[in-house]
Amino acid sequence: MSIIEILSTEKYISGNEISKFLGVSRVAVHKQINEFKKMGYAIGSSSKGYILIKNGKLLFNEYEIKTNLRKQLDICKTIKYYEEITSTQTAVKKLAEKGFGEGIIVVAEKQTKGYGRIKRMWNSNAGGLWFSMLLKPVISPDESSKLSLLLSIALKRIFEKEYGIGSEIKWPNDILIFGKKVAGIIIEMSAEQDAINWIVAGIGININNSLPKNLENISISLKTVLKKEIDRAEFMAAFLTEFENLYFDFQKNGFIQFLEEYNNKIAYKGMFVTIDSGYDVITGKNFGIDENGKLILELDNKLEKIVSGTLRKAEK
């Protein structure tokens, strides 16, 4: 527990109580309080002790995320926050290679080398929500792609439940609001023939970040949609709680239970789309996904199943 979590009750707590709680000296408490003040926290002190003053500032760091989580999650045992990092994805992959277990999350204010699917550069200015999670699901490697479908469902639910916004899922895992990309997901895995060693799931959400001119036509941020700054710690805690439930339910009962929900929100349903596999581009009618997460396309009056590729709305 951190001092911020202890003070989150917004009542006076004496330095003595804090030092007993944390098992550190009064001097150490005083030092930590000063560190938190430097991070932007308004902490008042009087003869009654210390008090956290909520001054309406939306701070974002690991303490804020933990304070917003109402219970300890198995997918989020440790959170590490960085002001700047090359890529949270690269950082978590390194930890995975070192043998760390499920439940580590790295989150950053800014990424200098953020990347997306097919190693595309991912714009990661300050203000967005950029994080990666280390997962070790007990599923076969060929089921791993369903995890990205689940992550999209969790995101779609949060936009709807917490912010009252409808969104669509562009197969396999882009989230669109008003037809523009608000979030992207990447899944990277290390596996043996029939067992997964680890999965690193990276999630990038345009929350309060401003988008460069060249992305304005195709991307959107939540701040633009809601016309106000969003509390990222609150968003992230809600998302992690939602995903934790889906994740364990999926491992127990499979993906089929989520199929209808996914297909109800799939973008460009019944419309002509192109799929770019990197080798060729095919055009067909989008019939949604099957129980294995494959996209069903109607091509020359025949139904075909597509495993991967980049989907775009066909030009006509």
**Of 67, 68, 123, 132, which one interacts with ligand BTN (CB under 6 A)?**
132
Residue 309 binding ligand BTN, by CB under 6 A: no
Residue 146 binding ligand BTN, by CB under 6 A: no
**Of 61, 68, 88, 206, which one interacts with ligand BTN (CB under 6 A)?**
88
Residue 239 binding ligand BTN, by CB under 6 A: no
**Of 67, 68, 89, 219, which one interacts with ligand BTN (CB under 6 A)?**
89
Of 52 and 123, nearer to ligand BTN (C-beta) is 123
Q: Rule CB under 6 A: which of 205-234 touch ligand BTN? A: none
Cα 217 versus chain centre, distance? 23
Q: Rule CB under 6 A: which of 68-87 touch ligand BTN? A: 87
- In whole angstroms, the minimum distance from the beta carbon of 106 to ligand BTN comes to 8
What DSSP string describes the chain?
--HHHHHTT-S-B-HHHHHHHHT--HHHHHHHHHHHHHTT-EEEEETTEEEEE--S----SHHHHHHH-SS-BTTBSEEEEEEEES-HHHHHHHHHHTT--S-EEEEEEEESS-B-GGG-B----TTSEEEEEEE--SS-GGGTHHHHHHHHHHHHHHHHHHH----EEETTTEEEETTEEEEEEEEEEEE-SS-EEEEEEEEEE-SSPPPPGGGTTTB--HHHHHTS---HHHHHHHHHHHHHHHHHHHHHH-SHHHHHHHHHTBTTTTSEEEEE-SS-EEEEEEEEE-TTSPEEEEETTEEEEE-S-EEEE---
- In whole angstroms, the minimum distance from the beta carbon of 254 to ligand BTN comes to 25
Of 174 and 242, nearer to ligand BTN (C-beta) is 174
Of 57 and 120, nearer to ligand BTN (C-beta) is 120
**Of 186, 187, 222, 295, which one interacts with ligand BTN (CB under 6 A)?**
186
Residue 137 binding ligand BTN, by CB under 6 A: no
> Is the separation of the CB atoms in 243 and 150 below 8 Å?
yes
Q: Rule CB under 6 A: which of 101-130 touch ligand BTN? A: 111, 114-117, 120, 122, 124, 130
> How buried is 295 (Cβ within 10 angstroms: 0-12 exposed, 13-18 middle, 19+ buried)?
buried
Query: Which x/- pattern, by CB under 6 A, does the window 268-307 give for ligand BTN?
Result: ----------------------------------------
Residue 134 binding ligand BTN, by CB under 6 A: no
Of 78 and 257, nearer to ligand BTN (C-beta) is 78
> Alpha-carbon distance 63 to 60, whole Å?
8
- In whole angstroms, the minimum distance from the beta carbon of 143 to ligand BTN comes to 20
- In whole angstroms, the minimum distance from the beta carbon of 212 to ligand BTN comes to 15
Could you tell me how many residues of this chain bind ligand BTN (CB under 6 A)?
A: 21
- The CB-nearest residue to ligand BTN is 184
Q: β-strand 129-135 against 104-111: which pairing, if any?
A: antiparallel
Residues in touch with ligand BTN (CB under 6 A): 87-89, 111, 114-117, 120, 122, 124, 130-132, 174, 184-186, 202-204
